Every structure is written in C-alpha cells, then in structure tokens.
Structure 1
Amino acid sequence: MTILTSQMTLFLFMLLSITTFHKTMCSNHTVVQCNEKDREILLNFKQGIHDTFGRISIWSEKDCCAWEGVHCDNTTERVTKLDLHLKDLKGEMSLCILELEFLSYLDLSMNHFDVISIPVTQHNITHSSSLFYLDLSFNEGPNLHMDNLDWLSPHSSLKYLILSGIDLHKESNWLQVVSTLPSLLELQLTDCKLNNFMFNSSFEYLNLSSIVILNLSLNNFTSHLPNGFFNLTKNLTYLYLHESNIHGEIPSSLLNLQILRHLDLSKNNLQGSIPDRIGQLPNIQHLDLSMNMLSGFIPSTLGNLSSLISLSIGSNNFSAEISNLTFSKHSSLVSLDMSNSNVAFQFDLDWVPPFQLSHLSLSNTNQGPNFPSWIYTQKSLQDLDLSSSGISFVDRNKFSSLVERIPNELILTNNSIAEDISNLTLNCLFLRLDHNNFTGGLPNISPMTTHVDVSFNSFSGEIPHSWKNLTDLQYIILCRNRLSGEVLVHLANLKDLRYMFLGENEFYGTIPTMMSQYLQVVILRSNQFEGNIPPQLFNLTSLFHLDLAHNKFSGSLPNSVYNLTQMNTNHVYVWRPVTFNLFTKGQEYVYQVRPERRTIDLSANSLSGEVPLELFRLVQVQTLNLSHNNLIGTIPKDIGRMKNMESLDLSSNKFYGEIPQSMSLLTFLGYLNLSYNNFDGKIPTGTQLQSFNESSYIGNPKLCGAPVTNCTTEEENPNTEKPFTQIEDEDSIRESMYLGMGIGFAVGFWGISGSLFLIRKWRHAYFRFIDGVGDKLYVTLIPKLNNFGKN
C-alpha cells in the first residue's frame, strides 16, 4: 500500500510538472491580441487623421496590440496605453478614443491636430474610467479649441492633466471643473487664453488640495490673484504664472504655501513691494519675480532662503542696496539674474561668495568701472551677461582665464573694455563683445560657435585661419573695426550662415560665386570689395537685406534679380532681431534688422548698364538705393506697383526719359532723390511727388514742373502726361477699337464673298452687273478718248 501510494504521488507530481511546463511553454509563445471593441474604437479614432509619415496608416492588421503607440495588458488583452506624441499627425483629434474602457494613459501631444471633436457619448461614459494621464498639449492647429471642459467629469481618476496650447477662452468655469477631479496632482493649462479667475459665491468649497504642480502661464487673466485661491492649494509645490497679465500685489495667502519649491510670477504687472514674509518659505528653490513693476526695498529676509538654487528679481523698480550679506546663506545658488535694476551693489572687494554660479546676468546695472572681482571666483559659469554695466578695467590674467572657460553665452556688450585678446581661444557658443574698445587681432573661437558679434571695436588684422572651421556659424557681425584681408574666402564654406555683417572695415576681394544658401542679410558696405556682382547672389531666396554700398563693384546688374523671392513675398521669418546702423532716407539710423523690412543698397560703386526690369517688380522692397553709379535707362512704369517703397535714391547716374506718372502711387515714399541724371519732361502731378523739395530733382536741366521751375504753356499742353491708370485704360480702348475694325472688315468681306460663292443666282446676277457696268464705261469713255486724241 505504501509503495502504491508512493507511485501514485510520483505520478501526480510528474503530471503536474508536465502540465506546468506545457503552460509555461505556451505562455512564452502566446501573442496578446486586443479586444475587438478596442480595435473598433482605435479605427474610428484613426479615420479623421492625416498621417504624414505613415506611422499609424498601418493600423489594419488583426492584432491592434502590435500597432504603433498602442500598448495592451498581457492578461486582459485590453488597450491600456496610447502614446502618439511627436508623430506629425494632422487633422481631427477625436476624443472617442476615451471610450476605451481600460485606457489609463493617453498622450497625443506635440502634433499638428487642427480640430478637436468631442462625441456626445463622451459626456455619458458609463464605465468607471481608469485614465490617470492625459496630455493633448502643444498641437499647432489654428482652430484647436474647446468650449468647455465638462467632458472631464467622468475621469475622476485623473492625476496628470496637460491641455497647454488649446484655446479655452469660452470656458468660464474651468476651476470648478478641475475641482471635481479629486486625485489631480498636475494641471498644465499654459497658453490656453484663459481670461478669468472667476469664482461663484461658494468658491471656498472648491477642493484643489491634491494639486502639486500648477502651470497657468501665458494666459490673459487681466486681474489680481484672489487672496483666497492659495488657501485651497495647501500642497502646491510648483506654481508657474509667468506672462499672464496679472495685476495687483503679491497676495499674502501665497506665502502660506510652506512646501512651495518653484514660484514663477515673472513678466506680469505686479506692483508693490516684496513682502517680508517671503523669508518664511523655507523650501523655495526657484524664485522668479522679474519683469514686473515691483518697487521699494528688497527685504533682508530674502537672505533667509537658504534652499535657493535660482533667483531672478531683475527688471523691476527697486530702490535699494544689496551687499554680500544678502547672499551669505545662499550656498546652493546656481543662477542669479538681477539685470535691468537700479540696485546699488555694495560687495566687499575681497568677497568670496558661498556659491558657484552657472548662470549670471547683471546687464544694465552699475558694476564698473572695475570688473567685479567676486565674479573671477566663479569657476562653473556657463552663461555670463554683463552688458551695459559700465566696466572699463579688468584684471588681464583673471579676465582671460574667466572668459576662456565659459562654454555657452558670453555677453559683454556696450562697455568700455580695452584689451588685446588676440591670444585667447574663446569656447562659448554665443559670443557678443560688441561696442567696446578691444584692440589687436580677433581671438580664436570654438568650431561649434553659432553667433559672433565683435562689431564697434578696434580689432585689426585679418580673420584668423581657424575661423574657416566654424561649420555651425549662423551669425557673424564684424562691422566698424579695422579688419582687412579677403574675408569672403574664409566665409564662403560656411554653409549654415544666415547673417553676414562686414560693413565699415578694410576688407577686399571679390564675392565668391558659392555662398550659403541660407543667407538672409548681407552687409558689405564701406570696404574695398571689387569685381562683378555674381548672379548667384541674386539666387538667394531667403535674402531680405542686401547692402553692397561704398565699394568698387563694377559691371552690370544680373538679370536674375527677380529670384530674390523674399523681396517679393509677404512671408516673414521668425528670427532674433539684430541692431545695426542703416543708411536710408538720406541719413543714418540705428535700427533693428527685421525681415519685414526689405532693403537693397548698391550705391557708390561703379556699376553700369541698364537696371533689370525685374528689380522694379520686387514689390516688398522698402529701401532701394542705386545712387552714385553709371547706370542708364528709364524708370519703368512698373515702379508704381512697389507700394511699400519708403526710400528711393537713383541720384548721380545717367538715367533719362520722363518720370512715369505711376510713381505718384508710392504713397509711403518718405525720401526721394532723382537728382543729377538726364530726366526730362514734366514732373507728374500728384501730392506725393510734389511733397519733396527741389533738391530731389536738381541736376536734370530738361526736367520741369513743381517743385522745380514751371514748364511753359506750350510745353505743358503737348507733354501733359495722363495718370498711369488712365494711360492703361486708353491703351486698352485703342486696342479694342482696332480689333473691332479688323473683325468687322473680315466679317463683311467674307459675308459677301461667301454668299457669291455659295448662291448661284446671286453669283450670276453679280457677273451680269459687272458686265453691264463695263459696257456703260466703254460706251461713255471711248468716244471721249477718241476726241481727246484728235485734238
């Protein structure tokens, strides 16, 4: 019996082992297949989507769990996650996808959806929602809006709600809807066009205590922050409200958030002073109150914030002093921005801060005349901005060591530093040393540098050979130095170059035929460049500012000028403005180069030949200067279509002919100079051309009419020029009249000839008529001719 029992036990054990092994093997080879209902919902969601790169166009196989972005639970075989962020999807974002019963995670962010549709069934979901993460943010469609957020109410399990970039300006009860989500930890409503903090009479019963992260930046609240609001958010740790048009003072309830770590109220209209109680936020790590209208003293309690990592309080109206004692407890400080401040900095000369900064901005503050010695102690600086700080003197060795180790941004603009840095190698990506007194040769710079501005200094010599390797360089601004050499040879290989400001130096050489195809600004004025202007320069479709004035260029202008498509379209690039000196309207201005202002200046060269007609078809050009050359030809009437023209200078050339009446259509013209040419006839009448004084037309002896000497009556009558549009109308009428006469003659001729050819009776009658006329002429003329012969 014992043996039998043992054998039975062994058998059952083996059977159990085989069964377990079989199940294990089967589980290793089982392919999860999604529920048919889930598959149908996914296909319905797909219908309105335009898939540029085909990422979801393959959603067709039976097993939807294998589709792009779809994740299923291995046990239930139900869809639990859909992640399609950054897939370049377009079209309709249908929230029918929320009907997936077991969906817990949905991310459709950073695509190009242009409309959101919310099915009626979404408001009546019967199943218990498992959704805890929902991100529909940062899609780019112009019609991406929601009238309300009521559809969120069934999803009480939501912990993360991110709707940034969706237009919610019609939703006036957004706060009440959010309060119905008891598990919500993170709420991101950045740039949603929210315009109110409106509460109903029982707002104190709202429950927002679960929220840890709240981002309401880039909205338009146009109101103060309700003091009671922050009593509802006791667990708030991250609060972002920058650039939301908030008024009033900093509410006292905000200072009750004892666990707050990040506070950003920058770029608003906050007034009053910083409350003393701000020192009672023991956990604050990032504090940004910059770009407001705060005033008064900076409280000493700010120095109690020993956890601070980042402090930005610049661009306000403080009137106070700051000493090194203010920062004595800030050993964790990494970023400090106090730019655009009237604060007096009273730091001891031998002060060594307890922190090591990676970012420091003290632009537009009074730091000089000596370079602040405490900055030399900062060994970890990655970004340094000391522009417009009144600095004149530096410690040469310490200064050299400091600027060479900064890897990102080095900005020393608009000081009076006079150092020779030619032996240095600057490793920053963004370099601005402009408007100083630097001397000697240019420094070597990192091959990864993207922006160089050393204009308005006293640099001399040629471009360093190492600059040929600046393959990432996009902006180079060298204006107003004493630099020389064939600079364009060095820059021709920089294929990513956008801006090239080389004006007012001593550069020479010719323009290479091959330049960066991305060039938007080319300024070579006041150098010694020579040779022909290559046609390839006019094939740069992105170019909107071309200034070759005051050089030695010769030859004729290329006929390919119409390829400057940026001068002929309304498209405007988004770009970082650059300030420089522009010569327009007869004088020099300091202004920002912007793509909406198109400029062509080829003045003071030795250009000859006729100006291509295509140049006067660049209808977006606002400044055109061809003066002081040897150009010939007439002004075409097409110039009247350049309706954005503000400054036109054709003076000191050899242009001839009459001034077209169409020029009176240039209603924005603020500067005109046609002097010293060979124009003749009467200046067209019209308020625009008569608004300029005689100096605009002087040096054209055959030109008459106001504002120069009036034409005589005999000259006025035959040469009276009609308006541009009237001339076009008369030409059209004359052409129509000639065409009508031709058609009438042809119809009459072929009408009679055709009838004679097709109708026999008419043809016989016609010939009998001709014979009769011939007989009568014979009887009448022959006797007279005989009598004339006898006489």
Structure 2
Amino acid sequence: MDLSYNDFERISTPSINTSLVAHNHLPANFSMLYNLDLSYNLHLRIDDLHWLSRLPSLAYFGLRGTHHLPSETNWVRSLTLLPLEELHLYDYNLNTSILSLEYANFSSLKSLDLGLNDFRDGLPNWLFNLSKDNFNDLYLSQCNLGGQIPDFSGYQNLQGLYLSDNKLKGSIPDWLGQVDRLYDLDLSDNLLHGCIPSNLVNASNLEVLNISFNDLSGTLPKNIVQRHFVLLDLSHNSISGDISNRRDIPEQIEKMKDIESLDFSHNNLHGNIPQSMAGLSFLSVLNMSYNHFSGQTLLGTQLQSFDAWSYTGNTELCGAPLPNNCTLLEKLDNTKQVGGNDNNGFLSSLYLGMGVGFAMGFWVVCGSLFLNREWRHTYLQFFYDVVYGIYVAMAIKL
C-alpha cells in the first residue's frame, strides 16, 4: 500500500480483538499487507507505532521525510517484531530514540536506509548486530558522520554501501576489498585521503565505484582497468600519472567492455588518452576534463555523441569535438621544427665559411710575406710610411 506524497495528518487504525491477534486470525486487509509506505506526508504525526504489530506480513515499511516522531523511545523495538526486509527512514529526523536502543533483532532485514539523519555522535550499536546472512544494502548518506569509515566487515553478504556526503576521514580501509559480494560502493563527497587500495578493485563483484570529491592521491591501481565496471567515478581528486606510459592501462582498458559511465575529471592525469577506449561500445558518459591530457581525442562512431565538455581543460588535446584541429597543429609544429632546422643549418654554414675564409686569408697574406723577402721589405716600408705620415699629421695639428 503506497500512501506516500500525500498530506495526511493522523493515522487511525480500527480496533481489533486482541484474542484474534493472539490466534493470528486477522482481517485479510491486515494479515496480508506486505508493503506500507507513508513517506513524505510532511504534516503526519505518529504518536504510536505499536499498531504495526498487527501487520504480521509487513516486509516493506517506509517513513521517509516524516519528522514528527513518537514521543516514546522504544518504537524501533516494535519494528523488530515484524518480518521486515526493507526499512526506509531517510530524512526521518532520528534522534536519541534510535541511538539509545542497544539491541534490535531485525532478523529478516535486507535493506536499511537511514540517510539524511544526524549521526554526528555515532551510529547506534544495534546497527552492527544485524543478520549476517540476509543483510545486503545500507544507506548512510548525508548523516554527518565523522572519523574513519565504520567497520562493516562482518556483513560479508553486503552488496551496496552508501556513505556519500559525510565528513569521513582517513584512508579507504582494506576490508572493503574483502567483501566478496559488494556490488555498489559510494564514498563520494568526504574527506578521504591516501591512495586507492589495489585490493578494493579486486572485489570480485564490484561494478559501481564512486569515490569522487575526496582528496585521494597517488596513481591509478594497475588492475583498475581489468574490472568489469558499469560506473567508475574518480573525479575531483588529486590522482596523477601518465596513463599512456602505463603499458597495462592502454592494453587492458578495452576489457572494461561493460562500462557505461567513466569520469576521470579534475585530477592530475596526463599523457595520451588510450585509443583502445574507442572500443567501449556501451560507454554513454565520458568525462576526462581538467587534467593534462595531450594528443588526439577518442575516435569512433559511438563516441561522436560526446561534446567538448568531455575533454575541456586539457589545453594540449586536439580533435573533434574540440576546436583544436590536430592536422593543423601538427603542420604548425612541423613548420616550426623544419624552420628551426633550416636556420640552424644556415648559421652553421655561415660560421664555418667565415672560419675557413679567415684562415685562408690569414695564411695567404702572412705566408707570402714570410716566404718572399722582397715583398716583406716592401710591406714593412709601406707600413712605416703610413705610420710616419699619421705621426707628422698629428704633430702639425698640435
């Protein structure tokens, strides 16, 4: 039953004979109710949640965006009496009522959404004591979490972990790469630093990885392109390195054949973009902007839909859809290089000719004077007459 996005103010439940409840003989409309969603009824006031115990088949319960909580503090325990598989309390203004509970036996729970609640004082203890066999997805985005990433390594069947938009610090822990069934990991918009651990991308089922908007550094793990990612977002970090000089990346990147979204933007990567990426036929989102890439943009029929924003901020990149024409740039570079070579050759020839000419002239004149006595006397007499004439002219003027 989906009653979300309405303007309900109160919940009124009909009275039910307690003996019927005890013998599990409830009206069909209660006993078979599997799904109940009361999310985003902004004026809804719930004074009591014990009536939920009358719904023995309830597996899905949603109260997202409902801020008027029961005054009593053990309402969470009422939920544990149900065979809940999904519990959605996103933006529920949770407070001490959920933090004070030490133990909650959600034995059937598979998915829990506590996003957009304030857990600056820490997570409730019972959150680490859920069913190890059934629990799959945990949403803790926008919860004002600080410190290290909480240790959920005990949930080996965890498939989705969402910790985005918090204040988590430190490095990415190794245990994340040891959760074999982890499929979707979102650590974006935090304060994480350090390198991307290689064992993180070794997680056998990891297909969606978002670690954008952190302060991660170092180079790309060599095995990152060997994974069958569907989405990979490493944007807005300080990851560096020349990906064209990493033999493993250009040669292996074509193995990411299932990739649909790839974002390397706002990092310090450089080198040529591997043309083997043109073979990624499912790629629909590509962002390589604001790095230091050079050379030719990607060529390929399926890649022509990408606009210039996919490559902007790389001043040495050329080719469609960028305005820089690679052929023109190559011609200009070649012209400069050829012109430089011509000038260097001319100057070298000029200097060589001047040197040879000076040497030849010097030895012709001096050699002749040295070998011919009559010429030597004549030259010396001529030199004496010139010097004497200059001396007499200066003496007369003085």
TM bucket normalised to smaller: 0.5 to 0.7
Aligned partners of 2:85 and 2:303: how far apart in 1?
Answer: 44
Deviations 1:296-355 (A, max 9, x none): 333222132021111111211223322322443x2x311100111112346425322332
d(CA) in 2 for partners of 1:122, 1:346:
70
- AA in 1 matched with 2:200: L
Matched, 1:342 2:253: no
**In the alignment, is the contact (CA less than 8 A) between 1:352 and 1:377 conserved in 2?**
no
Equivalent residue for 2:142, pick from 227, 243, 252 = 243
CA contact (8 A) 2:296 2:319 kept: no
Partner SS, residue 107 of structure 1: coil
- Amino acid in structure 1 at the alignment position of 2:220: I
Inter-partner Cα distance in structure 1 for 2:175 and 2:312: 37
| 8 Å contact kept, 2:217–2:238 | yes
| Shift of residue 207, structure 1, vs aligned partner | 0.6
2:165–2:190 Cα contact (<8 Å) kept: yes
Deviations 1:443-491 (A, max 9, x none): xxxxxxxxxxxxxxxxxxxxxxxxxxxxxxxxxxxxxxxxxxxxxxxxx
Change beyond 3 A, Cα 1:145–1:318: farther
Deviation at residue 190 of structure 1 after TM alignment: 2.0
Q: CA deviation at 1:122?
A: 5.6
Aligned position for 1:708: none
Instruction: Determine which of 156, 169, 179 is the counterpart of 1:281.
Output: 179
2:288 aligned with 1:386? yes
Instruction: Give the corresponding residue for 1:178.
Output: 79
- Following the alignment from structure 1 to structure 2, what is the Cα–Cα distance between the partners of residues 189 and 150? 17
Structure 1 residue 258, shift from structure 2 partner: 1.1
In 1, the alpha carbon distance for the partners of 2:198 and 2:42 equals 47
Q: Report the equivalent of 1:267.
A: 165
Whether contact under 8 Å (1:403, 1:410) holds in the other structure is no
Aligned partner (choices 168, 187, 191) of residue 91 of structure 2: 191
Distance 1:382 1:116, change over 3 A: same
Q: 1:218 to 1:327 in 2, by over 3 A?
A: same
Q: Tell me the equivalent position of 1:92.
A: none
> Does the 8 Å contact 1:268/1:291 carry over to 2?
yes
* Superposition deviation, residue 226 in structure 1: 4.2
2:10 matched to 1:117? yes
The answer (yes or no) to whether the contact 1:196–1:223 under 8 Å persists in 2 is no
Go from structure 1 to structure 2 and tell me whether the alpha carbon gap of 1:389 and 1:148 turns closer, same or farther (over 3 Å shift).
farther
Identity between Structure 1 and Structure 2 (%): 32
CA-CA distance at 1:135 after TM superposition: 3.0
Q: Give the SS at the match of 2:7.
A: strand
Look up the SS of the partner of 1:152 in the other structure.
Answer: helix
1:411 positional shift: 3.1
1:320-719 matched pairs, under 5 angstroms = 320-328=218-226, 330=227, 332-345=228-241, 347=243, 348-349=246-247, 350-353=250-253, 354-356=255-257, 357-395=259-297, 398-399=298-299, 401=301, 403-404=303-304, 411-416=310-315, 419=318, 421=320, 437-438=323-324
When residues 170 and 392 of structure 1 are mapped into structure 2, their CA distance, relative to the original with a 3 A threshold, is farther
Alpha-carbon distance change, 323 to 297 in structure 1, aligned in 2, over 3 angstroms: closer
1:155 counterpart residue number = 55
The offset of 1:358, in angstroms, is 0.6
Q: 3-state DSSP class of the match of 1:321?
A: coil
Matches of 2:317 and 2:109 in 1, distance apart? 54
Q: CA 1:297 to 1:368, structure 2 compared with 1: closer, same or farther past 3 Å?
A: closer
TM-score (norm 2): 0.68
Q: Which residue of 2 aligns with 1:107?
A: 2
Distance 1:124 1:272, change over 3 A: farther
SS in 1 for 2:8: strand
Q: Name the CA distance, whole Å, in 2 between partners of 1:233 and 1:409.
A: 49
Give 3-state SS (helix, strand or coil) of 2:229's partner. Answer: coil
Tell me what 1:136 maps to: 37
Letter aligned with residue 216 of structure 2? F
The structure-2 alpha-carbon separation of the partners of 1:417 and 1:388, relative to structure 1 and needing over 3 Å to count, comes to: same
User: Structure 1 pair 261/437, CA: closer, same or farther in 2 (3 Å)?
Assistant: same
CA distance, structure 2, for counterparts of residue 365 and residue 374 of structure 1:
21
Residue identity in the other structure for 1:379: S
Matching residue's letter, 1:263: L
SS at structure 1 position matched to 2:303: helix
Question: Is the Cα–Cα contact under 8 Å of residues 303 and 327 in structure 1 kept in the other structure?
Answer: no
Structure 1 unmatched ranges of 5 or more: 1-105, 422-432, 441-791
**1:507 equivalent in structure 2:** none
CA drift of 1:191 comes to: 2.3
Query: Residues 137 and 344 (structure 1 numbering): CA distance in 2 closer, same or farther, change over 3 Å?
Result: farther
State the shift of 1:186 in Å: 1.1
**1:265 CA drift (Å):** 1.1
> Distance between the aligned counterparts of 1:339 and 1:282, measured in 2?
25
Contact 2:241 2:270 in 1 (8 A): no
